[in-house]
Structure 1
Amino acid sequence: MEFKPPISARETDDLIRIANFPDNWNPLAVEQAKKELLIRNVPIDYENKKVAVLNRYDQKRKEIAAKRRAREAFEWHDFMFDFHHVLLEMLCDWDMKKNGYITKHRQRKYTLSIISLLILIIYVYWNFIK
């Protein structure tokens, strides 16, 4: 498999990042990066300080992404201009909270509760008052 840019053309720091964080990369890329580091006579855990910095950077990036997901919300214009997408997401995506979309999960819960209440009121009105 050929990657863009090719693994052999990447800088040593990129190869170290690929080799030390295999969960973030394609397994073939990890294997090629390790082979390329051996060709360049660079140990995989080269400069443990650099690996530690990269690890902290990666952890911080994940934390920021998680916070961003937690704050992401449906906007009023989403309901106006992209209603089908919002409706499908609200009805079909039951893993919002598990995936970190805390605000969207809360909005979905309230919206579905209000819709259920409206349907109940309409049903009662239609069958008992009319």
Structure 2
Amino acid sequence: MEFNPPISDRETDELIRIANFPDNWNPLAVEQAKRELAIRNVPIDYENKKVSVLTRYDQKKNQIAAKRRAKEAFEWHDFIFGFHHVLLEMLCDWDMKKDGYITKHRQRKYTLSVISILILAIYVYWNFIK
């Protein structure tokens, strides 16, 4: 299987990351990365030293991504230009909070509450007042 870019063209640090974090990569890519590291004569102790640095780097990258997801919100122009997308996301994506989209979850909760109150008010007006 050929990858883009090819495994042999990648930097040594990326090959180490592929070889030491196999859960994040295609198994064939992991095998090719290990073979390429052996061809480049990268010593095992070098890999072990790099793993701790890469682990901290990946943890920091995941923390930053989680903070970014937590602050992501629906904007006013999303409701105007992409209403069908926002509506589908609000009605169908019930795992927003689990996925880390805290602000979007809160916005969905308030929006659905307001829509429910409006529908109830229209129903009451239509059936009892009119």
The normalised TM-score by structure 1 is: 0.92
Aligned counterparts of 1:17 and 1:110: Cα–Cα separation in 2 = 42
Paired residue type of 1:42: V
Identity of aligned residues (%): 87
Question: Does the CA-based 8 Å contact 1:73-1:103 persist in structure 2?
Answer: yes
Question: Does the CA-based 8 Å contact 1:16-1:45 persist in structure 2?
Answer: no
Q: Verify: 1:50 aligned to 2:40, yes or no.
A: no
Structure 2 unmatched ranges of 5 or more: none
Question: Does the CA-based 8 Å contact 2:7-2:33 persist in structure 1?
Answer: yes
Out of 27-36 and 70-79, give the one that drifted further: 27-36
**Structure 2 equivalent of residue 7 of structure 1:** 7
Question: Does the CA-based 8 Å contact 1:45-1:51 persist in structure 2?
Answer: no
Structure 1 unmatched ranges of 5 or more: none
Aligned counterparts of 1:127 and 1:44: Cα–Cα separation in 2 = 77
> Structure 1, residues 90-115: CA drift from partner, whole Å, max 9, x if none?
11111111111000000000000000
Q: Post-superposition shift, 1:44?
A: 4.9
Paired residue type of 2:107: Q
Q: Post-superposition shift, 1:42?
A: 2.5
Aligned counterparts of 1:67 and 1:108: Cα–Cα separation in 2 = 19
Q: Post-superposition shift, 1:50?
A: 1.9
Question: Does the CA-based 8 Å contact 2:97-2:105 persist in structure 1?
Answer: yes
> Structure 1, residues 61-98: CA drift from partner, whole Å, max 9, x if none?
00000000000000111111111111111111111111
Paired residue type of 2:56: R
- CA 1:129–1:44: 2 relative to 1, 3 Å: farther
Out of 74-83 and 3-12, give the one that drifted further: 3-12
Question: Does the CA-based 8 Å contact 2:16-2:47 persist in structure 1?
Answer: no
Question: Does the CA-based 8 Å contact 2:16-2:50 persist in structure 1?
Answer: no
Q: Verify: 1:94 aligned to 2:94, yes or no.
A: yes
Q: Post-superposition shift, 1:47?
A: 4.2
**Structure 2 equivalent of residue 32 of structure 1:** 32
The normalised TM-score by structure 2 is: 0.92
C-alpha root-mean-square deviation of aligned residues, in Å?
Answer: 1.4
What is the aligned residue count? 130
